[in-house]
Amino acid sequence: MTIQQFGDPSGMELREVPDPDPAAGEVLIRVEAAGVGGVDAMIRRGTLGSHHPIGMVPGSEVAGTVIVVGPGTDPELVGRRVWAFTGIDGGYAELALAQVGDVLVLPDALSSVDAVTLGSAATVAHFALAHAHTRAGDSVLVRGAAGSIGIAAVELAAQLGARVAVTTSSEDRGERLRALGAVDVLDRAGTGPEGSAVTFDVVIDIVGGADVPTFIDRLAPNGRLVLVGAVAGFPPIDFGMALMQSFQASRSVGTFSLNSVPPVDRDRVRAAQFASAARGELHPVVHEVMQLEDAANAHRQMDTGAVFGRIVLVP
């Protein structure tokens, strides 16, 4: 699946392209599942902020079987079923390349669909909660909780012993998030029924956009807001005024990217999460499994905000 025009999903087209050839340190994977993520949608819209070539194959996360390894790469990987990060492109395909350092062998009990549902999202959620110094007894608000990162953050924060609140668009979604550990369900503006938490020790913000100052104002004294996404765009340039105007509350705002975590730590946490999911202790939420040729429709669903969990493409 290629992007022939950036913007609307109609600019995506299924085309035949040459098979990739793994270089030194790379593996070639026969793709069984590819995750559809928010970054994919931002690249397709042309809003990520960096240039991408016409004809690129989107998709950063796949699971499947290694069929060829490049020079100097462990031949024992051939035939192994793996999860892989492909970079910012290459995943929406029958065959995908990945650096061997971005490949993790999967437990037999974990499906490829579940692997790409959790692989990046749950790891981001884990380290974002750690970045916010989340601990048992904290009140945690997950803003934008219906996506794969948000769902993982809800479950992981609850497992830490935090009281979890979520923002979401409907009561039905709220009930599904309660089943994963949420206690308070707020609307997208952060308003909830009487008795809901008013301020929070931690806000994990996957949405970003113009309302970031509103959620800074929902921080308790010494509260920490961590931005892990910007699906609604960047915050206003003066969003720091919300901190200055509440100076005595000692609130803080940070950003988090998985790129800042050493690979050995990412692999350790991701392997533990895959094992936890295989045991039924961590729950991947799949919105829909769609054929690769339906990738444009998958992105249309992403654009409407109707997705709960992750859409997964299968060749």
Query: Do 90 and 219 fall into the same domain?
Result: no
- CA separation (Å) from 128 to 74, 173, 297, 305? 32, 22, 30, 23
- Do residues 89 and 208 share a domain? no
Q: Whole-angstrom Cα distance, residue 200 to residue 203?
A: 7
Domain total of the chain? 2
Residues 183 and 296 in one domain: no
Region 221-236 average pLDDT = 93
Q: Is the pLDDT of residue 263 over 90?
A: yes
- pLDDT for the residue 188: 87
CATH number assigned to the domain comprising residue 49: 3.90.180.10
Task: Please state the rounded mean pLDDT for residues 118-131.
Answer: 97
Are 216 and 251 in contact by the 8 Å Cβ rule? The answer is yes
Answer yes or no: is pLDDT of 22 > 90.
yes
Do 252 and 138 belong to one domain?
A: yes
Mind listing the pLDDT tens digit for each residue in 139-174? 999 999 999 999 999 999 999 999 999 999 888 999
Q: CB of 226 within 8 A of CB of 205? A: yes
Give the CA-trace dihedral at 121, 173, 208, 142, to 10 degrees.
Answer: -70
Say yes or no: 183 and 65 in one domain.
Answer: no
pTM for the whole structure? 0.94
CA 250 to chain centroid, in Å, comes to: 29
pLDDT of residue 50: 66
- 62-89: string of b/e by CB count within 10 Å (b at 16+)? bbbbbebbbeebeeebeeebbbbbbebb
Q: Looking at the domain assignment, is residue 296 inside a domain?
A: yes
The helix (H) or strand (E) run that includes residue 159 is: helix 148-160
Banded model confidence at residue 88, pLDDT cuts 50, 70, 90: confident
Both 245 and 132 in one domain: the answer is: yes
Tell me the average pLDDT across 234-238.
Answer: 94
Residue 297 within a domain: yes
Residue with tokens 């692989």: 119
Shared-domain flag, residues 126 and 49 = no
For residue 300, give the 3-state DSSP assignment. helix
Range of the domain at 128: 121-259
Q: Is residue 68 part of a domain?
A: yes
Is position 307 within any domain?
yes
**Two tokens, residue 175:** 């009930």
Q: Work out the average pLDDT over 73-83.
A: 97
Q: Is there a single domain that holds both residue 64 and residue 156?
A: no
Give tens-digit pLDDT for 26-64. Answer: 999 999 999 999 889 889 988 776 678 999 999 999 999
pLDDT of residue 198: 87
Q: Note whether 131 and 188 are same-domain residues.
A: yes
In a domain, residue 265? The reply is no
State residue 312's pLDDT score.
Answer: 98
- Scanning 81-147, the segments in alpha helix (DSSP H) are 112-118, 121-131
Domain of residue 156, CATH code: 3.40.50.720
Burial class (CB in 10 A: 0-12, 13-18, 19+), 219: buried
Q: Is the pLDDT of residue 272 over 80?
A: yes
Per-residue pLDDT tens over the stretch 171-218: 899 999 999 999 999 988 888 887 677 899 999 999 999 999 999 999
Q: Is 142 exposed, middle or buried, given 0-12, 13-18 or 19+ CB atoms closer than 10 A? A: buried
Per the listing, tokens 């010494």 go with 222
- Give Cα 190 distance to the centre of its chain: 21
Residue 247 maps to a domain:
yes
Question: Following CA atoms 273, 158, 301, 229 in sequence, which dihedral angle do they give, to the nearest 10 degrees?
Answer: -80
Q: Going edge to edge, which strands form the sheet with 200-205?
A: 182-186, 163-167, 139-143, 200-205, 219-227, 252-255
